Homo-oligomer: A and B are copies of this chain.
Amino acid sequence: MQGRQVSTTDHSDIAATAASARGEETRDRILRAALTIFGKDGFERATTRKIAEAAEVNLPAIKYYFESKEGLYLACARSIVGVYERGVGETVVSIAQQAVDGLSPEAARASLKTVVRLLVELIEASPGANLWTGFVLREMTVPGPAFEILYNELWAPGVELTAMLIAQIEGRPVADEDARLTALLLHGGMTAFSTTWPVSRKYLGWTENPKRLTETMLPILEAQIDRLGR
């Protein structure tokens, strides 16, 4: 007894091989359901019963796999960070390296567009398109159990890279206060735009229009980036 827990360094007993394949699948199902429901409702509003029902498991399975509701929430945050790192990590690190070495304004502009495009595509790839941003924005607004991990692994590095690129677009070598604030406004805009996307569609009168978030937001963001440093 004791379940699989959060499995930080879970390679304790190597014997757990094929037998646990079904359990792994169940764990994944719970995690996916939790991401959806936490993303939509937030930590407090979401109930373990709703999650268990959506995952088609019974209530104690959550304790079994994640120890507690909070453990499940943290696992969701780690999952988001993981997808981010596997999806865009490599490119972002390489751009960050180039930025540290110094880029021309136009190269920095192109890099910033790349970063923004990767981020937007990542957001779009999440189930419901705006669940991850809701998750992250909520945690930045009212810091909860997952604040530290999301801030340190996602928010701060993302904003800092953006700030660095903005500074270089404007001809300054390193990120300063002004560039950081502009970056915060840009990221805030992206995040809020994503989370309020359903409302924005209504505002625009796109009741039937199946236009996706990416193809709507990306041109606007790129126009914004094009205006920088001019």
Contacts and interface: CB of A to CB of B under 8 A. Distances in A.
Interface in A190-215: 190-193, 195-196, 199-200, 203-204
Given A180-B203, A227-B230, A196 B141 contact: yes
Given A189-B186, A189-B189, A189-B192, A143 B220 contact: no
A181 B142 contact: no
Contacts of A181: 204, 216-217, 220
A192 B134 CA distance: 11
What band does the interface of chain A fall in when counting residues whose beta carbon is under 8 Å from B?
A: 35 or more
A101 interface: no
A22 interface: no
Interface of A: 40-42, 44-45, 134, 137, 140-143, 151, 155-156, 159, 177-178, 180-182, 184-193, 195-196, 199-200, 203-204, 216-217, 220-221, 223-224, 227-228, 230
Contacts of A204: 177, 180-181
Given A185-B220, A220-B181, A196 B137 contact: yes
Nearest to A193: B188
